[in-house]
Structure 1
Amino acid sequence: MARARRIVPRMLAPSRILRTTPAQPGGGRSREALVERAREAIEQGSRSFHTASMLFDRETRERVWLLYAWCRRCDDLADGQDHGRPPEGHPPQDLGDAGKRLRAIRLLTGRAFDGLPTAEPAFDAFGLVARECGLTREMAEDVIMGFELDALGWRPRTDADLARYCYHVAGAVGVMMAVVMGVPGSDSETLDRACDLGIAFQLSNIARDIAEDDAADRCYLPIEWLVEQDIEPGQHMKPHHRGELAAMAARLVGHMERHEAAARLGVARLPFRSRWAVLAAARIYGAIGREVRARGPAAWDRRVTIGRREKAGHIAGAFWEALKNRPPEPDAMPEWTRGSILIDVRMAGPIAKPPMDPLPDDE
């Protein structure tokens, strides 16, 4: 009688049991698809910045779009919004969700740096541009801290607090943009000037958007400024305070102009096409701030915008300014510097955070 053959179970190869996701720039998405999604994001999110970005050479323009897409998506996730607006049919997110949303941003950004897919095109885009240009996790964290300040309802008390806010939400972005344009991470002087330009842009935005921010229960005017003007908390948009509000807006624009003038010293070191694009953006955002100041107490009766014809004039002026490339020496450098702000950040310590609920495994 034949003996039955004994069948010995064979172990599967490890690759058959657990497949690791290979690290790839952009999480495996095609560069063309990521660039197109990024172009759509900037076109919807910032018409002024989109206009200026068209002046870059193609490679730089695409990289600027990729970085912008990440910034826009992080901002939306932090605030529970869609391109700066609450999703239709959904109430604004409350602070109780902030910890979870911020943790998601950090986890997705970390995966992007590792070249792992995130299921979020904007984060995959960031992973791609970070790999191409040498952006660092520290640079990204500086920007994420700005989203954190907004998500947690943080408000500035002092000038130093305002400087810290402007650095995280815009100055740190300026530093990353400069690296995307080819400025080496070791060129601290040029990166300082790029930070100045980001801060200038943010100061212009704050001055223009005081009424809109108040409607969203936000205020970026330092509490000490309001106290100096004898304005009660939450009452700065009352009609009888319009004179004082105009004075504070003019103060913001004064700071903006110092940073704007200092930034031009760094812009002079960029290649011509990048110089032209950055100067066009500087002229457009500067014009917004100066128009707010010129309108005085009427600045918030209707939103300050820069029309197409005026933008075209700024683009033409920026061309000749970039061609000449002899920025005047500023009368005075800004009071707020990247170095001093970062020292203040370290001394102030971490931002107070709400408890963070654990993310589900599938997130």
Structure 2
Amino acid sequence: MSVDRELDAAAITDPALRLAYQRCRALNAEHGRTYYLATRLLPRERRPAIHALYGFARWADDVVDEVHDGRTPAERAAQLSTVEEKLAAGLAEGRSDDPVVAAVVDTARRYDIAPSLFEDFMTSMRMDLTVSSYATYADLARYVHGSAAVIGLQVLPVLGTSVPRAEAEPAAAALGVAFQLTNFLRDVGEDLDRGRVYLPTEELASFDVDRELLLWARRTGRTDPRIKRALAFQVERTRSVYRDAAPGIPMLSPASRPCVATAYRLYGRILDLVERADYDVLSRRVTVSNGRRLAIALPALARAVLA
């Protein structure tokens, strides 16, 4: 099986740990189609670590995002505290009985990933329990640092660099932010359903847009020129973050560049689709088609083989 070859290549031999990594791989395959496709372009020995990092992030994210499953806010907070305690104990002890935590702890040890990056991530996850909007982009940036920038920094040592790691870190963080801002644009409607708005309210107000107008558009399936202008502004700012991230791709180890370049293009494509949909992201969710995914991924696969 492909998963066995990946684990063998990564020298992961402990049976329990192999099952832990398999669990994270399944989470990635099920929930992160774009990331999972891009991960297939990595050398086999690097894939399990990426699956572990994604699997843990997805697990924590689901705790705070599944708001319609009958749990109270207090129950979600308690569950997130349990996740946080398991992670802290695992990082301190170098092991865990929880499969997702076991895999991410092993990955952190193998690649010398700083515990502070996980702490910052959990801080942002906790913000999702109580914060439903952000007044300014600076306010949002504090959330995005922990929810996205640190993911880029966690992944960077797994990908490897052709320059000193510190030199590549700003671009890696920027790419994580670019992906997150893209998600915010794609998921405006779904986030509204959870009671959240991740577009800075002061920026929306400058286009005469508020939460009530967004909710009206979500409820009626209709759009409004003011919303279009506000979203166009957000798209252009997100593209500028992608431009900040682009110089980091050549800084990666050659074997990792096709993977990240593919994720960069696939996620950037979502912005094109938002524009093509005339910014109607409140009544539907734009996605990159499987055909387009393959059209982008197949040339990258050839480059990965050559690398």
TM-score range, shorter chain: 0.7 to 0.9
Q: Structure 1 residue 192 and structure 2 residue 174: aligned?
A: no
Match of 2:56 in 1: 70
1:232 and 1:52 map into 2 onto residues whose CA distance is: 36
* Greater C-alpha radius of gyration: 1
Q: Which amino acid aligns with 2:171?
A: R
Residue 136 of structure 1: CA displacement? Answer: 1.4
Residue 188 of structure 1: CA displacement? Answer: 2.5
Matches within 5 A, 1:85-96: 90-91=69-70, 93-96=71-74
Question: 1:276-317 CA deviation, whole Å, 9 max, x = no partner?
Answer: 001101111100122112322434332211111101122245
Evaluate the alpha carbon distance shift between residue 263 and residue 126 of structure 1 in structure 2; reply closer, same or farther with a 3 A threshold: same
1:64 and 1:99 map into 2 onto residues whose CA distance is: 26
Given the two structures, how large is their TM-score scaled by the length of structure 2? 0.85
1:222 and 1:102 map into 2 onto residues whose CA distance is: 26
SS of residue in 2 equivalent to 1:107: helix
Give the gaps of 5 or more residues in structure 1. 1-25, 326-363
Evaluate the alpha carbon distance shift between residue 261 and residue 324 of structure 1 in structure 2; reply closer, same or farther with a 3 A threshold: farther
Match of 2:23 in 1: 37
Match of 1:59 in 2: 45
Alignment match of 1:245 (pick from 227, 232, 257): 227
Residue 166 of structure 1: CA displacement? Answer: 2.2
Alignment match of 1:165 (pick from 143, 153, 156): 143
Residue 234 of structure 1: CA displacement? Answer: 3.2
Question: 1:106-144 CA deviation, whole Å, 9 max, x = no partner?
Answer: 211111112365442111111110110011111111111
Q: Which amino acid aligns with 1:38?
A: C
Alignment match of 1:315 (pick from 278, 287, 297): 297
Match of 2:117 in 1: 139
Match of 2:33 in 1: 47
1:129 and 1:280 map into 2 onto residues whose CA distance is: 23
SS of residue in 1 equivalent to 2:133: coil
CA contact (8 A) 1:243 1:296 kept: no
Evaluate the alpha carbon distance shift between residue 247 and residue 180 of structure 1 in structure 2; reply closer, same or farther with a 3 A threshold: same
2:19 and 2:293 map into 1 onto residues whose CA distance is: 29
SS of residue in 2 equivalent to 1:50: helix
The size of the alignment, in residue pairs, is 291
Farther off after superposition, 309-318 or 236-245 = 236-245
Q: Which amino acid aligns with 2:62?
A: D
1:322 and 1:160 map into 2 onto residues whose CA distance is: 38
Alignment match of 1:207 (pick from 182, 185, 201): 185
Identity, in percent, stands at 25
CA contact (8 A) 1:172 1:195 kept: yes
Match of 2:126 in 1: 148
Q: Which amino acid aligns with 1:40?
A: A
Q: Structure 1 residue 273 and structure 2 residue 255: aligned?
A: yes
2:168 and 2:142 map into 1 onto residues whose CA distance is: 19
Residue 221 of structure 1: CA displacement? Answer: 1.2
Evaluate the alpha carbon distance shift between residue 189 and residue 243 of structure 1 in structure 2; reply closer, same or farther with a 3 A threshold: farther
Evaluate the alpha carbon distance shift between residue 33 and residue 185 of structure 1 in structure 2; reply closer, same or farther with a 3 A threshold: farther
1:173 and 1:232 map into 2 onto residues whose CA distance is: 30
2:299 and 2:140 map into 1 onto residues whose CA distance is: 31
Residue 251 of structure 1: CA displacement? Answer: 1.8
Q: Which amino acid aligns with 2:122?
A: I
Q: Structure 1 residue 298 and structure 2 residue 280: aligned?
A: yes
- RMSD of aligned alpha carbons: 2.7
CA contact (8 A) 1:115 1:127 kept: no
SS of residue in 1 equivalent to 2:284: coil
Residue 195 of structure 1: CA displacement? Answer: 0.6
SS of residue in 2 equivalent to 1:296: coil
Residue 49 of structure 1: CA displacement? Answer: 0.8
